[in-house]
Chain A
Amino acid sequence: MRRAFLNRVDRMIREEEDTVFFTVDIGMWTIRDILSVYPERAMNVGIYEDGMFGIAAGLAAGGMVPTIFGIQPYLIERTLEQIKLDFAYQRLGVNVVGTGAAVDYPKYGYSHYCAEDAGILKMIPEAELITPGTAKEFLRLYDQAYRDGRPSFFRVSDHPNKNHDIEVEFGKASIVQKGAKATVIAVSVLLDDVLEACEEEDVTVLYYTTLAPFDRDTLREVCGNGKMLVCEPHFSGVLDYDILQAMEGRNVQIRHVGFPREIFRNYGSYEDKLRHYHVNQEKIREELQQLLE
C-alpha cells in the first residue's frame, strides 16, 4: 500500500502542477526522482509535524493541494490543534497519509503505536478518515478524495487484505455479503478475517473504508434486526456513535472485535498483538456465535 501511494505521488507531482508533497523523512528512495527534479513541490521537509501542518494549511489557502506523508502517531496525536484549527475549522484541503497503523511497528513500543487514531479523528467535525484495506482500494479512495477541499486522513497499513479487493467508493459502505440474521461491519484490513469467519453464516457483511464521513444510510437500510458485530483494527467502539445515530429509534445489539482501550506495553510481532488482543478470526467467530444465539 505504501509503495502504491508513493508511486501515485510520483505521478501526481509530475503531472499536476498545483500539488505539493511533504515527507517527514520516510519513503525517500521510492520517490528520489521527484525529490531531485521538483524540489520546490516535493520535499523531505524535516521532522516537525505541527509547524508543517500549519504550512500545509497556508499552501492550501494559497491554492495548492498538499499531501503529507509520515508516521501515524506524530501525524495525528502531536498535531491535534493544527488538525482542528488549521485544517478542519478553516475548511482547508490537505491530505495526510500515515503509515504505522495501530500496531504496525510492533517492536517500537507505544511511542509508535496508534490505535487511538480513528477515535481522535472522528471527534473533529468535517475531517475525513479513510482506511483502505488494499493498495488498489487506497488508490481508488485517494483519487476520489484528495481534491475535495477537506482535510483527508488516509491510514496506510502494512498488513492489507490478501484475498479480497473491493471496488470501494469514498463515503460509501460496500455490501459484500447478504444475509438475514445479523450485520457484520468489517473495517479496512479486517475484511479477510471477517469474510472467512462469516462464509457459512446467514449474515450481511458491510465493508467500511471511509470511517468519516460514516455511511449511516446503508447501515440503516441493511441492518433490519439491529444485531451487529463491529470489527475494527483500532480502539474498539469508535464507530458506536455513528451506528446508534444510524439506527435511531430501533433496538440495537452490538458486539465488538477490536483493540481494547488500554496502554500497550508489550512488543513482539504484529501477529503476537492480534492474538493477545483477540483481533482475529477466532474472536470474530466467537462473538458472532454469541450474537446469533
Chain B
Amino acid sequence: MKEKLKQLRKRCLRLSYICQDGNLQSAFSCMEIIWCLYDGVMNWSPEQALDKNRDYFIVSKGQATLALYAVLIEKGMFSETDFDGMGSFQSRYCIQTDPTKFPEGGIENAAGSLGHGLPIAAGLAMAAKIKKRPSMVYVLAGDGEFCEGTMWEACLFAAGKKLDNLCVIIDDNHSVEAMIDMGDMRRKLESFGFDVFEAEGHQEEKLKEVFLNFAANGRPKAVIADTIRGYGSRTLTKEEIWFHKAPNAQELSMLCREVDEF
C-alpha cells in the first residue's frame, strides 16, 4: 500500500480516537476511492470549494465521513488541529457531517442516515444540467445502503433524465451479504440504464482509469468497487466488533502499527 494511503488511514484512526466514535472498517474500505477522486479525478480544490462549476463529492454511506475528513485535511481544506476537539459539544466536526456549519464549503451534504445522498446527488446533477454547468457529481454509496428504496428511486430518475454527469460509486465491502442476497448488482443497475463498471476498490490507479474514461452518452455511471472492510489493518479486517468501535490509546498505537506493516 502506498505511504499516502497509510497516512490517511492512520489519520482516520486518530480522528476516531479523538472523537471516541466512528466506523473504522467502513472508512478503511473506501479510503482509496475517496483519495483517488480528490487527488486526480475531480475538478475540486479548497480554493474552488464554493465555485458553481466545481465537481461535487456526496457521501451517501454516512459511515465514510472519517475517511472524507482525512482526505480533506490532506488536500488543505481543513487543518489537522481543527479536529482537536472533534466530537465535543460545540465542534463542527463529528461522525455526522452538517453542511450548515461549513459556509466555506468542503462538506456538501448531511451524511448520516442512509438512502439520502444518492437522491441529493441526482438533484445536483440535474441542476448542473439545467444550468449548463460542467459539474460532475460523484456519490459514495454502500452495498448495504442499496436496500433503501430511495436509492432505486434516484436511479430511476437519473437514468430517465439522462444524467451522465452523475457517478455512483458502490463501496462493495460485502456488508449486504449478512442481510440479504442482493443478486447481480451489475445487471440490476444496467437494467436501470446505467453504464456499469467494476473495479478493484483498493487499486487507486485502476479506479482512476475508470473515472477518467466515462462516455458523455446520456447514461449515468455506476462503479462497483470491490473492497474489504477494514482494509489496511489486520485487526480491522478480522474482528467484527470494529464495525462500530473507537480505539483507546493502546489500541490506537497497535492499529497504527498494523497500518504501517500492511
B 111-133 contacts with A by CB, 8 A: 112-113, 116, 118-131
Chain A proximity of B134: nearest CB distance (Å): 13
Are A91 and B126 in contact (CB-based, < 8 A)?
A: no
Categorize the interface residue count of chain B: 20 to 34
Majority secondary structure of chain B interface residues (helix, strand, loop or mixed): helix
State the CA gap A86–B123 with chains docked (Å): 11
A60: interface (CB < 8 Å) = yes
| Known pairs A46-B157, A50-B153, A81-B113; A62 contacts B123 (CB<8 A) | yes
Say yes or no: B153 contacts A51, CB within 8 Å: yes
Provide the A47-59 mask, 1 if CB < 8 A to any CB of B, else 0: 0101111111111
Q: Which of A10-46 contact B (CB under 8 A)?
A: 18, 20, 40-41, 45-46
- A57 near B113 (CB under 8 angstroms)? no
Task: Report Cα–Cα, A66/B126, bound state, in Å.
Answer: 12
Does B154 lie at the interface of the complex (its beta carbon under 8 Å from any beta carbon of A)?
yes
In the bound complex, residues from chain A placing their C-beta under 8 Å from that of B130 are 20, 40-41, 64
Number of residues on chain A facing chain B (CB within 8 A): 30
Interface-central residue, A58, A66, A81, by most chain B CB under 10 Å: A58
Task: Give the residues in chain B near A18, CB-CB below 8 Å.
Answer: 131
- Contact check, B157 vs A58: say whether CB atoms are below 8 A apart: no
**Given the complex of chains A and B, what is the CA–CA distance between A89 and B108 in angstroms?**
13
**Chain A residues packing against B (C-beta within 8 Å):** 18, 20, 40-41, 45-46, 48, 50-64, 66, 81-82, 85-86, 89-91
18 more contacts with CB within 8 A, not counting A58-B124, A62-B128, are: A18-B131, A20-B126, A20-B130, A40-B129, A46-B156, A50-B150, A50-B153, A51-B119, A51-B152, A51-B153, A54-B119, A54-B120, A55-B120, A59-B126, A61-B109, A62-B126, A66-B123, A81-B116
The answer to whether the Cβ of B199 comes within 8 Å of any Cβ in the partner chain is: no
